[in-house]
Each structure stands twice: as structure tokens, then as C-alpha cells.
Structure 1
Amino acid sequence: MNIMITKKAFDWYKRELGLKPGDAIRFFARYGGCSTVQKGFSLGMAKDELVDKPAAQTTVDGITFFIEESDQWYFDGRDLTVDLDEKSDEPVFLVH
């Protein structure tokens, strides 16, 4: 499982959340919403502290994006790409 963050999505997170080097964003499974991956669940995100052994992580310009081991079931072995929907100016999560 890999995490890929597009430049547009990275810039959005940095701007909207005021991120700086050393900060971390956690992606996690949450109950409710809709998803093409797991029925009855959706993907959430939060600014958080990096865990010791994440299931997946990527670091861009000193900012780390990660998934905890306890949430890797949601992805079912697939990769996560985070992009930006420019029309709505919101991140979109592509699990593939």
C-alpha cells in the first residue's frame, strides 16, 4: 500500500491547514459516508502526531501523510492517491 499526494492536493493541505515541516496528516477509516472500497465507511483525515509504525506513509517537503496499521483494512491492499477537485476546491481520495 502506497500513498501519493499530487502537488495541487499538497498545496491545498498546506494552505488550508497551515501545515509546516514536521506536521503530519493521518488518513483513517470512518463509519458512514460512501465509498467504492468499503460499504458503509468513508475516508477521513486529521492533523495528528505520526505513529511509530505506520502501515503507509509519504513525506512531501517535511510534511508526512500516513495511515495507521489499524486502518489498513479499509484499503484492502490498494494504494491511495490524494488529488484536488479544482471545481469544488476540495481533496478527492482515489483508492486503486
Structure 2
Amino acid sequence: MQIKISDHAMEWFKDEMFLEKGDNVRFFVRYGGSSPLQEGFSLGMNKEEPLDPGVEYNKDGITFFIEERDLWYFKDHDLIVDVDENSDGPTYSYEKE
């Protein structure tokens, strides 16, 4: 599995989360909401250090990661992160590996 961050999403993360080189962003599974992959669960994100990363993606010196314990959520799909122009927030889509 891979994490793919668009250039627009990268700028959003830098601006909204005040990210700098060397920072880390974790995508994690949370109970509640819905997604096309897992009903009753959704993705969250937080600026934090990795403990047991299952997948990592580095762009502009910032590392995005998913912990090993959360990989079940993706069911052999890549995570694609972009920005919704209307809400000016991140969007998540999934692409079969």
C-alpha cells in the first residue's frame, strides 16, 4: 500500500497544520463516520511521531505515515489525499493496488 499526497494537499497540510521539515503526520482509523472501504469507520490525522509505521511517504521533508495496526482499514488500497476546493479541506480516496 502507498500514501499519495497531491501538491495542493501538501500546501494545505503545511498551512493548516503549520508543518515544517522533520514533522510527521499520522493517518489513523477512528470509530464513527463512514468510508467506501469500512462502514462505521473513518480516517483522522494528527501531527505525531511514528511508533510502528506500516507505510510511510515523505514529501518536502515531511513524513506521512500509517501505523501497522491500522493497515487493515485499507484492504489492499492506496490512500490518495487531495483537497476539496469547496470546503478547503482534505479529501481521501482509495485506489486498488
Q: Given the two structures, how large is their TM-score scaled by the length of structure 1? A: 0.95
Q: 1:56-94: CA deviations, max 9, x gaps?
A: 111011100000000000001110010000111000011
1:69 aligns with 68
Q: How many residues align?
A: 95
Give the unaligned 5+ runs of structure 2: none
Larger strand percent: 2
Match of 1:60 in 2: 59
Q: Secondary structure at the residue paired with 1:8?
A: helix
Partners of 2:2 and 2:37 in 1: CA distance: 15
- Displacement of 1:39 after TM fit? 1.1
RMSD (Å) for aligned C-alpha atoms: 0.8
Displacement of 1:95: 1.5
Q: What 5-or-longer segments of structure 1 have no aligned partner? A: none
Structure 1 residue runs of 4 or more that deviate by more than 2 Å after TM superposition: none
Identity between Structure 1 and Structure 2 (%): 53
